Amino acid sequence: MITTKNLKKISLLFGIFLVLGACASRPGLLPRSSTVPVDVDLSGLWQLRMEPGAKAIPRTGDDGGIRIPPVNSQRQAVKRPSRRSSGSAVGVFLETGELLKISQTADGLFISFDRAIVEEYAFGENRIVSVGPIEAQRVSGWQGQTFVVETLDTEGGLLTESWHIDVAEDVLVRDISVFRGDKRQFSSRQRFDRS
């Protein structure tokens, strides 16, 4: 016989399972360290090194898939996928430029791409970011001597960017990868010389 007390217990358990199911349906990103490594400062004016045979950041078709602007494009050249698209939307969060100005504070980085677009990344952040109607989870922070930014869209598309100084060459190295599920769709390495 179902009593009011048993019905309340069943309702509570059902609610808990719904919440756990919702949390399990979309994997989240793990937070990154907010502690800046000793003697690591990415600040400066950096010029993209044009290396022969370097892999250009590709354009994708108009199928609503991942949209990644070419190295020398501006933000307006990025086509934003529609909400009804089955493609990944993380490409709208990728900025590129040939001239970067990086200002590092105790709490984060400000990166100016070609003096037109400025991105702000807080050390240890874990928040929802948006471009128009497109939302994604973003975490950023330190992994050893490398600054890492990860952006995960609602469809499971993941954009990973990492920045570090190659001390031997005195260059800024930026690694970019885009994943869709467990499959890597794109990766590129950019090198920037001090300007």
Nearest to 62 by CA among 93, 87, 83: 87
Residue 188 lies in a domain: yes
Residue 19 lies in a domain: no
Strand partners, 191: 173
Determine contact, residues 139/31, Cβ cutoff 8 Å: yes
Number of folded domains that form the chain: 1
Three-class SS state of 177: strand
pTM of the model: 0.70
- The single-letter code of the amino acid at 145 is Q
pLDDT digits (tens, 9 = 90+) for 20-52: 444 444 568 999 999 999 999 999 999 999 877
Residue 173 lies in a domain: yes
pLDDT digits (tens, 9 = 90+) for 127-171: 999 998 999 999 999 999 999 999 999 989 999 999 999 999 999
Determine contact, residues 171/150, Cβ cutoff 8 Å: no
CATH number at residue 129: 2.40.128.20
Residue 6 lies in a domain: no
CA distance 75 to 113: 10
Query: Residues of 20-47 as b/e, b for ≥16 C-beta within 10 angstroms?
Result: eeeeeeeeebeebeeebeeeeebebebe
Residue 2 lies in a domain: no
Residue 3 lies in a domain: no
- The single-letter code of the amino acid at 96 is T
Domain span at residue 75 reads 29-194
Residue 17 lies in a domain: no
Q: What is the DSSP letter of 33?
A: B
Residue 15 lies in a domain: no
